[in-house]
Amino acid sequence: MGNLLLMIIVGLAVGIFVISLGGGGGAIYLGVLTGIFQLSPGAAAATSIVTSLPALVMGSWSYYRRGLINFHLGNRMMVAAIPSIFVGYFMSPFLPESVYKLVIGLILVFLGLQLVYKVYHQSSQGQSRISPQTASVIYGIIGGLMVGIAGLSGGGPITTGLLLLGAPMARASGTSSYVLVGMSIVGATLHISSGSIDWHAAGGLIAGSLVGAFLAPPIVLWMTKKPQRARIVKLFMGIFIIVMGMRTVLI
C-alpha cells in the first residue's frame, strides 16, 4: 500500500513537471521502477513507456484544446522519429550500453548548452547552417533512437529542438507531447514484447500522472505568460537537459 501511494505521488509530480516541459518522463520513471520496485531493465523499460502514454495523451488533448500544437512541425518530427525507433530497437542488442550512454549523454549536453546560449543571445539569432526542416528531422531521429534503444521517452531532444527552432515554451511543450504520443505507441508495442509489465507499479504511476498531465498546460501557460518568466523557464529547460545528459554519461 505504501509503495502504491508513493507511485501515485511520484506520478502526479512527474505528470505536472514533465508534461509542462513537453516530455514523457521516461528517464524518471525508469529510475523509480528500478530503484524502488527493483525491476529488471527490460521490465522497467516496458513499464515506463506504457506508464507515460496515458499522461501524454491527456496532456496533448489539453494542449490541443488551447491551440498549442504545431501539427505541421510535429508530424515532420514524428515521421522521422518512428523509423528511428525500429532502428534503435533492433540495434540495441548489439550496442554496448556504455557507448549508447556516452553518445546520447553528449547529444543532450550539446542541445542543452545550445538552448542556454540562445536564451542569453536572443537578439543575435544568426543564420543556422542547417535548415529548420532538416533540423527538425534530426531532432526527431535522436528522440526515436532514445525510445527504441532504451525505452526512454525521447522528449528531451524533441522539446529542446522545438525551442531551438524558435517555438514558444507552451507551443513547444504541446507539440512535443503530441509527437511523443505517436512515438510512445510504437515504443510500447516493441518493448512490451521484450519485457513484462509490472501493472501494480504502472497503475499507481498512471493514476498520478493523469492528474498531473491535466494540470500541466494551465501551469505552463501561467509560467510563460510574461517574457521574463518564459526566459527563466527556457533557461531551466536547458540546464535540465544538460544535467540529464551528464547523468546519462556518468551513471
Locate 133 and state its grid cell: 526542416
Question: According to DSSP H, which parts of the chain are helical?
Answer: 2-20, 26-35, 41-65, 71-91, 97-120, 132-150, 155-164, 169-192, 199-223, 227-250
CA–CA gap between residue 39 and residue 32 (Å, rounded): 9
Taking a C-beta distance cutoff of 8 angstroms, is the pair 151, 46 a contact? Answer: yes
Q: Where are the domains of the chain?
A: 2-250
CA–CA gap between residue 81 and residue 182 (Å, rounded): 9
**19 Cβ contact partners less than 8 Å away, ≥ 6 residues apart:** 25, 55, 56, 58, 59, 173, 177, 209, 212, 213, 216, 217
Could you read off the pLDDT tens digit of each residue along the chain, which spans 251 residues?
A: 556 677 777 778 777 776 766 666 666 676 667 766 677 766 777 777 778 888 888 889 989 999 999 999 999 999 999 999 999 888 888 888 788 778 878 888 888 898 888 877 764 444 456 788 899 999 999 989 888 876 677 788 898 889 888 888 889 989 998 999 998 888 878 767 665 677 777 787 788 888 888 888 888 888 777 888 778 878 887 887 888 778 777 76
CA–CA gap between residue 101 and residue 7 (Å, rounded): 26
CA–CA gap between residue 8 and residue 10 (Å, rounded): 5
**170 Cβ contact partners less than 8 Å away, ≥ 6 residues apart:** 63, 66, 68, 217, 220, 221, 224
* DSSP 8-state assignment for residue 193: T
Taking a C-beta distance cutoff of 8 angstroms, is the pair 40, 195 a contact? Answer: yes
CA–CA gap between residue 214 and residue 157 (Å, rounded): 23
* Count of other CB atoms within 10 angstroms of residue 152: 29
Amino acid at 80: A
CA–CA gap between residue 22 and residue 45 (Å, rounded): 19
Task: Look at residues 145, 140, 175, 168 and name the one whose alpha carbon lies nearest to residue 56.
Answer: 175
